Amino acid sequence: MRNSKYNKKKIFNDPVYGFISLPFNLIFDIIEHPFFQRLRRIKQLGLTHLVYPGALHTRFHHAMGAMHLTMKALDVIESKGQKVTKKERKATLIAILLHDIGHGPFSHALEYSIVGNVTHEDISTFFMQHLNKVFDGKLGLAIQIFENKYKKPFLHQLVSSQLDMDRLDYLKRDSFFTGVSEGVISSERIISMLHVKNGDLVIEAKGIYSIEKFIIARRLMYWQVYLHKTVLSAERLVVNILQRAKKLALNEAELFCTDALRYFLYANHDKQSFEENPETLIRFSELDDFDITASIKMWQNHSDPILSSLCKSLVNRNLYKIDIRKKPFTEEELNSHFKELTASTGISEQEAKYFIFSDSIKNNAYSPKKDKINLLYKDGTIIDIAEAADQLNINALTEEVIKYFICYPKQVMVDNLKNE
């Protein structure tokens, strides 16, 4: 930790917003902590750079941006007569700063492969509890706000809701770095329209069109970026690589890996492990994208033909073929791919499941069943955006859209298997 006399009022130059200042010494100290510095080594959009080459920004970028927007939002809310104490302001900024600290390498891929039954939200809470001990209980209120246990719900809603500063930042930031203009939103306009009514966050009715655009932009970004078919293909390939590596590790095969990755590959760890064994959290804090990337490069030459082929495919961007449609794929369609692959390579049907599989994706741009985005009119009336919007498609966007996809190997993947 830096000396207490050290100047902690630093300024960060952000490519999206310009200069971002740090209003509290404690926030500087949290940013300096290795748990938070790890976010510099985790890409915000995982493998999306395989589609949009500029998408190489990090979770660190995003956390700093979300904190900056939260500062602006608190300024607006206070200017409209809502009392926010210095202690509450500090705690809210800490809560948004740490909201994504539990993300692992390649984000969600790790949640479904080498770590079981624990989400990044769970791990974020574990990190915050640990940091609260490190900083002598000074994160207690931030944790209350993060978990929505504080008496002022609008503070939690700034951190986590359907119109939180997290979403405002990632839409604008991800649009900036991918070059996908459909995600551009007017975060400044939206923040200027924030208000608090009956303890909850609301939007002044004159901001309705900015909110409509925000909801539409979010939907378009999901289809065009977050759920892009090639991104899905790459992410599923990483998941299958890690699942195969873990299967081999649990069968005592020797695998190149860092100490932190070895800890999770060679034993099963779940939420209970994080709760009961402090080492699990420390080991997780040592994991980042580089652990996984270096291992995958080395595993290209592993003696296991399945692992080797999968890794070669990712390193050389020879990803799965992927078809997406509105109705599920049938067993017959899957079986035809299985028969073709097993016959041409000699691998078993169980092994073929690393190369052929089907699943679904969901896109729900706005859900009025959750915490609503409410509009505040001059007469004090509060109306849900879905009811108030002029555009009929806002109501349509409240419906969850489900699509189905099937992944199967390109010829180069098949050739890799044959040559192993």
Contact 384, 368 (CB under 8 A): yes
Between the alpha carbon of residue 323 and those of residues 49, 221, 229, 403, the distances in Å are 20, 19, 8, 10
Neighbours of 144 (CB within 10 A): 17
pTM above 0.85, yes or no: yes
Query: What is the chain's Cα-based Rg?
Result: 23
Contact 374, 202 (CB under 8 A): yes
The pLDDT profile of the chain, 420 residues, written as one tens digit per residue, is 455 556 777 899 999 999 999 999 999 999 999 999 999 999 999 999 999 999 999 999 999 999 999 999 999 999 999 999 999 999 999 999 999 999 999 876 677 688 888 888 899 999 999 999 999 999 999 999 999 999 999 999 999 999 999 999 999 999 999 999 989 999 999 999 999 999 999 999 999 999 989 998 999 999 999 999 999 999 999 999 999 999 999 999 999 999 999 999 999 999 999 999 999 999 999 999 999 999 999 999 999 999 999 999 999 999 999 999 999 999 999 999 999 999 999 999 999 999 999 999 998 888 877 778 999 999 999 999 888 876 556 766 778 899 999 999 998 888 878 777
Question: To which CATH superfamily is domain 12-228 assigned?
Answer: Hypothetical protein af1432 (1.10.3210.10)
Within its chain, how far is the Cα of 232 from the centroid? 14
